[in-house]
Amino acid sequence: MKMLGAILAGGESRRFGSAKADAILDGRKLVDHVAEALRHDCDALVICGRTHPKIFRLEDRPTAGLGPLGGLCAALIHGRDSGFDAVLSAPCDAPNLPAGLLLLLSQGGPTAYVADHPVVGLWPCALADRLLSHLEQNGDRSLRNWARAAEAAAIGLPQPISNINTPDDLAAIQRRCAL
């Protein structure tokens, strides 16, 4: 199966106060932690909603400002049009993605997401037109609602994935890493 890794990074980082994708953890940007984790399972990477010097950029679809679903929609369309079978998605602010993420998610079937962090998911590229229509017709931008509509399985993980929204969240993770 040909897998496209998609880093969803189009948010405004209002609670963080600056571009959290560029925040440093353990000497590297958060987005680079995510890229490294996805590279193990993916044939290629894209970043949605921002630029990165080493990763191909996609503009959110059908328009900017739709949150993670706009980035996922762009990745699914790009993946479908480029011969990929599926997209493995993750947010730019989840630096502790587990090893073997694709294997963990694929246990839920061809469409699955992490139950407590639905931005992390496995999405067949065949869903591209369905997600585009979902966004254009009803404007529902909830990833959980999209996952239900796509009949995705919710997968629990043995360890939670970090979700860094504020500088305090980052500081807490830095303290845990220092122990």
- Give residue 61's pLDDT: 95
The span from the CA of 175 to the CA of 130, in Å, is 42
- Give residue 178's pLDDT: 55
**Could you list the mean pLDDT of each consecutive 10-residue stretch along the chain, which spans 179 residues?**
93 55 80 94 95 94 91 98 98 91 95 95 98 89 94 93 79 68
What is the domain partition of the chain in residue ranges? 3-178
- Give residue 179's pLDDT: 47
pLDDT in tens, 122-135: 999 999 999 999 99
To 10 degrees, what angle do helices 128-138 and 68-81 make? 140
The span from the CA of 108 to the CA of 66, in Å, is 27
- Give residue 81's pLDDT: 98
Entry pTM = 0.92
Structure tokens at 163: 């979700």
CATH class of 3-178: alpha beta
Instruction: With beta carbons less than 8 A apart as the criterion, state whether 149 and 77 touch.
Output: no
pLDDT in tens, 98-127: 999 999 999 999 999 999 999 999 999 999
Q: Where are the alpha helices (DSSP H) in 24-166?
A: 30-39, 68-81, 101-106, 128-138, 143-149
CA-closest candidate to residue 2, choices 97, 83, 106: 83
The DSSP code for 93 is T
Instruction: With beta carbons less than 8 A apart as the criterion, state whether 114 and 130 touch.
Output: no
- Give residue 19's pLDDT: 64
Percent of the chain that is helix, strand, coil (3-state, to 5):
35, 20, 40
